[in-house]
């Protein structure tokens, strides 16, 4: 009888632990650094909740013409401004190469806008990769290993960008 009670207690304990476990939200922002996170598509209705999570700027990386059901640049900008957030727009076309100007545009936004910043697009992988190239270009930015580790910690790989990251780090302007 004692063995049955132990097994019942063990089963009850396992059930209690399992009931407390909440699966992570796949749409939750993924942190690259303390100042930059990436996310899936957000809506106008999400903006205040994003502000309440502590973000001070959002960067929309989804082109206006990609999904008719999603808010366009002006609506997202208005919602961000109404919530007291900074707003940037660096569109990335799905299925197309990353625009050569995207990393530089992101460096500009990250330099002048309040942090922390949330970058969003249909999937967070492309913004993470743009950030990797932007960070590699930034004076005083992280080294290559730290950049690749940050992207990996968010659940993605930027290994395909390693040569570009190294080239950008070598060409960085000196830190002032």
pLDDT of residue 152 exceeding 70, the answer is: yes
CATH topology of domain 26-170: 3.90.190
The band of 42, judged by pLDDT with boundaries at 50, 70 and 90, is very high
pTM for the complete prediction?
0.84
Of the ranges 11-20, 64-73, 94-103, 133-142, which one carries the lowest mean pLDDT score? 11-20
pLDDT attached to residue 168: 96
pLDDT attached to residue 72: 87
Instruction: Label residues 21-50 b or e (16+ Cβ within 10 Å = b).
Output: eeeeeeeebbebbeebbbbbbbeeebbeeb
């Amino acid at each position: 009888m004692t063995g049955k009670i132990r097994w019942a207690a063990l089963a009850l304990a396992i059930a209690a632990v399992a009931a407390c476990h909440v699966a992570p939200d796949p749409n939750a922002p993924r942190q690259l650094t303390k100042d930059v996170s990436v996310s899936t598509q957000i809506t106008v209705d999400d903006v205040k909740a994003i502000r309440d999570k502590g973000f001070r700027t959002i960067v929309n990386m989804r082109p206006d013409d990609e999904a008719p059901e999603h808010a366009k640049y002006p609506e997202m900008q208005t919602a961000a401004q109404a919530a007291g957030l900074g707003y940037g727009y660096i569109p990335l076309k799905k299925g197309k190469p990353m625009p050569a100007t995207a990393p530089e545009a992101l460096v500009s936004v990250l330099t002048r806008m309040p942090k922390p910043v949330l970058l969003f697009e249909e999937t967070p992988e492309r913004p993470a990769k743009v950030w990797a190239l932007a960070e590699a270009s930034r004076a005083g930015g992280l080294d290559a290993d730290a950049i690749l580790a940050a992207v990996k910690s968010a659940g993605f790989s930027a290994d395909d960008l390693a040569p570009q990251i190294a080239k950008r780090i070598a060409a960085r302007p000196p830190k002032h």
